[in-house]
Chain A
Amino acid sequence: MSNFTIPVGPLHVALEEPMYFRIDVHGETVNNVTITAGHVHRGVEYLITKRNVFQNVVLTERICSLCSNSHPQAYSMAIEQIAGIRIPARAEYLRAIADEIKRVASHLFNVGVLAHLVGFESLFMHVMEVRERMQDVKESIFGNRMDIGANTIGGVRYDIDPERIGYLREQLAALVPEVDEIIEIYRTDSSILRRTRGIGVLSYDDAIDCGVVGPVARAAGIEYDVRVKAPYAAYDRLDVPVHVLKDGDVWSRAMIRLMEARTAIDLIHQCLDGLPDGPTVAMDERPAIPPGEAIAKCEAPRGELIYYVRMTDSPKPERVKWRVPSFLNWDALGIMLRQAKVSDIAIIVNSIDPCISCTER
Chain B
Amino acid sequence: MESILEARDLVKRYPVGGSEVEVVRGVSLSVKRGEFVAIMGESGAGKSTVLHLLGGLDQPNAGEVIIDGVPFGSLDDEHASMTRRTKTGFVFQYFNLLPILSVAENVALPFLIAGVSVAEKRSRVEEVLEMVGLSEKVNHRPDQLSAGEQQRVAIARALAGEPAILLADEPTGNLDYATGAEILDILWDSSERLGQTIVLVTHDARAAAYADRVLIVRDGQIIDEVRLGRRANHDAGPLIARLAQLGL
Is the A/B pair a real complex? no
Using CB atoms and an 8 Å cutoff, list the residues of chain B in contact with chain A. none
Using CB atoms and an 8 Å cutoff, list the residues of chain A in contact with chain B. none
